[in-house]
Amino acid sequence: MALTSATNLLSKGVKDGETIVISPVDTNAPGIPRGPIFNPFTAYRLNNTVVLESDTSYGMVNVVLVSTAGDYYTTVFDTEDSSVLIPISGDSGDYSLLITDLSGAQFVGYFIILREQ
Mean pLDDT in order along the chain per 10 residues (117 residues) = 43 67 72 66 91 89 96 94 93 94 91 78
Provide the whole-model pTM: 0.78
pLDDT of 39 reads 79
Residue 66 lies in a domain: yes
Residue 38 lies in a domain: yes
pLDDT of 25 reads 82
Domain that holds residue 107: 6-113
pLDDT of 87 reads 95
Domain CATH for 68: 2.60.40.3080
Distance CA 28, CA 32 (A): 6
CA-nearest of 98, 84, 91 to 112 is 91
Instruction: Quote the number of domains for the chain.
Output: 1
Residue 43 lies in a domain: yes
State CA 80 to chain mean position distance.
18
What separation, in Å, do the N-terminal and C-terminal C-alpha atoms of the chain show? 34
